[in-house]
Amino acid sequence: MPTQREKIIKKIYEILENQPDGIRYADLIRKISEELPGVKVNTIHGTIWQFNQDTDKGKIKDVLRPEKGLYVLKKYFQEGKIEDETRERTNEEVFYKPFADYLVNDLEECTKAIPLGGNRFQDKWGTPDVIGAYRILGLGHIQPPIEIVSAEIKIDIRQLITSFGQACSYKLFSHKVYLVIPKDSNGTDIKRMESLCLKFGIGLILFDRNNKENPGFEILTRAIKNEPDYFYLNRYLKLIEDKIMELL
Share above pLDDT 70 across residues of the chain, in percent, rounded to a whole number: 90
Share above pLDDT 90 across residues of the chain, in percent, rounded to a whole number: 58
Higher-confidence position of 228 and 81: 228
Mean residue pLDDT across the chain: 87
Domains, the chain: 4-77 (1.10.10), 89-247 (3.40.91)
Confidence check: pLDDT of 205 > 90: yes
pTM of structure: 0.63
The model's confidence at residue 80, banded by pLDDT at 50, 70 and 90, is: very low
Higher-confidence position of 22 and 150: 150
C-alpha torsion angle, residues 215, 216, 217, 220 (rounded to 10): -140
Q: What integer is the mean pLDDT of 187-191?
A: 91
pLDDT of residue 141: 65
* pLDDT tens string 155-165: 988 889 999 99
Q: What integer is the mean pLDDT of 91-120?
A: 90
**Degrees, nearest 5: CA angle 101-105-110:** 80
Q: What integer is the mean pLDDT of 214-231?
A: 94
pLDDT of residue 124: 64
